[in-house]
Chain A
Amino acid sequence: MNLGILFSGGKDSYLAMEMAAESNEITCLLTINSSNQDSWMFHTPAIEWTKLQSKSLGIPQIIYNTKGIQDEELEDLFELIKNAKNKFSIEGIVTGALASTYQSTRIQKICNDLGLWCFNPLWQMPQETLLQKLLENNVESIITGVAAEPFDDSWLGRAINSECVNDLMKLKSSYRINPAGEGGEIESFVINAPLFSKKIEISQSRKHYSNYSGRLEIMEASLI
């Protein structure tokens, strides 16, 4: 089946894509670039650099810009998926939704209206399982956003490796953090993975941080 993936560039959408690619053809990446940093639907840090991931994956990408106003962003998402259906003859959509019924309900409705299948391979997956799966599958990602206590700015840019996963699991018990960031506690960006032909090297970046909330602005990056 030809599928499009709702792709934010983070660990969840990549992992969902890898699972879907085992028995399907991923023909396009669908990315929403929201100017609302607090969007409930779309994750924003480093979104402009997904174009490098698209190049490394060898999968074409459609990017739509949205202001991120609650109902309007859904209309933008509808148009994006409709466009992908027409342009790439996709029969279904894959998402990295884990537990957010807010996101999944809205995407299910759009897919049903457009007669498309909707696949959520990570749905209800325990967050520890997800993190372990990332490590087992050699998915290299970094933290590009934090939004919860006790994350300080040293977390920005940190590789999500086994040491980081251990630290996140500790925060689960001490601070009730969702260790995979399902509650928006962390955002991530994949820099290398099995489906990538080249690794992404970030040569220049800047941290923006205050009061347990921050993001890593990638200023210069390239495929190596």
Chain B
Amino acid sequence: MKILLISTCTHTLNNSEFVIPISDILGDIEHDIMHFEDCNKEILSNYSKIIICGTSMQDFTYVDWLPFFDDLLKEFNRPILGICSGMQILTSIFGISGLIDKIEIGFVEVNTLISNKLFDGRFQAYNLHNYSVNDCNEFTILATSENCIQAVKHMAREIYGISFHPEVRNQEVVKNFLNI
């Protein structure tokens, strides 16, 4: 099993905040880190799972690259986890969900709606976003906070999106994803 961590950070300085802590959770599990602009379909075929990491609240570059992500990820038929901006990318390309203005900064209470492989129950989770996603037919909503969708799963594939940052709290969500 080899994992690819895809960075959505425009500034490399943000990697230390949004990508390296995910790498630390993976520990000894074999993985690589790559910025999305350096990825192509051939490279992705070497990995058994992909995690698309989040980025800064002011970083919206990934929004302009949605057609690129669409081409890059559509045929990747192994598990994918999108964190924050990663979730927004996944619901945008695998569903028809547009992005909506929803600010959450700090801890919110997350309520699990549907039993799933990543988490369960009610828990506190750290959020940091200006955008969230809409409900759409292609994804099941797994969890919500008072204001936002917090987690989704693709109806047919092992494609997950979480709004919250598991590198700050709830690291086991990443570990559970690795066990899928």
Chain A residues in the interface with B (C-beta under 8 A): 1, 19-20, 22-24, 92, 101, 105, 108-109, 111-112, 115-126
Among B11, B13, B56, B107, chain A packs the most CB atoms within 10 A around the CB of: B13
The main secondary structure of chain B at its interface with chain A is: mixed
Kindly provide the distance from the CB of A91 to the nearest chain B CB, expressed in whole angstroms.
9
B16 and A108 form a contact (CB under 8 A):
no
Please, which residue of chain A has its CB at the minimum distance from the CB of B15?
A121
Q: Which residues from 15 to 68 on chain B have a C-beta closer than 8 Å to any C-beta of chain A? A: 16-17, 20-21, 24, 56-59
B21 contacts A124, C-beta separation under 8 Å: yes
B24 touching A118 by the CB < 8 A rule? no
Tell me the B105-155 residues at the A interface (CB within 8 Å). 105-107, 126, 128, 130
A124 to B24, CA, bound (A): 9
B12 touches A117 (CB 8 A): no
Question: In the assembled complex, how far is the CB of residue A7 from the closest CB belonging to chain B, in whole angstroms?
Answer: 17
B168 within 8 A of A: yes
Cβ contact within 8 Å between B12 and A101: no
Nearest CB on B from A103, distance (A): 11
Q: Which residue of A lies closest to B127 (CB)?
A: A105
B103 within 8 A of A: yes
Cα–Cα, bound, A118→B17 (Å):
10
What 10 pairs across the A-B complex have the smallest Cβ distances?
A: A124-B21, A105-B106, A123-B17, A121-B16, A117-B58, A120-B17, A119-B13, A108-B105, A109-B105, A112-B57
B14 proximal to A (CB < 8 A): yes
> In the complex, which range does the number of interface residues on chain B fall in?
20 to 34
Residues of B within 8 A of A22 (CB): 13
Give the Cβ gap from A132 to chain B, nearest Cβ, in Å: 14
Q: Which A residues touch B105, using CB under 8 A?
A: 105, 108-109, 112
Whether the pair B21, A20 counts as a contact (CB closer than 8 A) is no
Contact B107 A101 (CB under 8 A): yes
Instruction: Tell me if B16 and A118 are in contact (CB < 8 A).
Output: no
Are B16 and A19 in contact, with the CB atoms below 8 A?
yes
Q: Judging by beta carbons under 8 Å apart, are A118 and B57 in contact?
A: yes
In the bound complex, do residue A112 and residue B58 qualify as a contact, i.e. CB atoms below 8 Å apart?
A: yes
- B59 contacts which chain A residues (CB < 8 A)? 117
Q: In the complex, are the beta carbons of A124 and B130 less than 8 A apart?
A: no
Q: With A108-B105, A118-B57, A119-B17 as given contacts, are A23 and B12 in contact (CB-CB < 8 Å)?
A: yes
Residues of A within 8 A of B107 (CB): 101, 105
Q: Which residue of B lies closest to A3 (CB)?
A: B13
Q: A23-B13, A122-B16, A123-B16 are in contact. Are A117 and B56 (CB under 8 A)?
A: yes
Cα–Cα distance between A122 and B24 once the two chains are bound (Å): 13
B56 touches A119 (CB 8 A): yes
Report if A119-B24 is in contact (Cβ < 8 Å); known contacts: A105-B106, A108-B57.
Answer: no
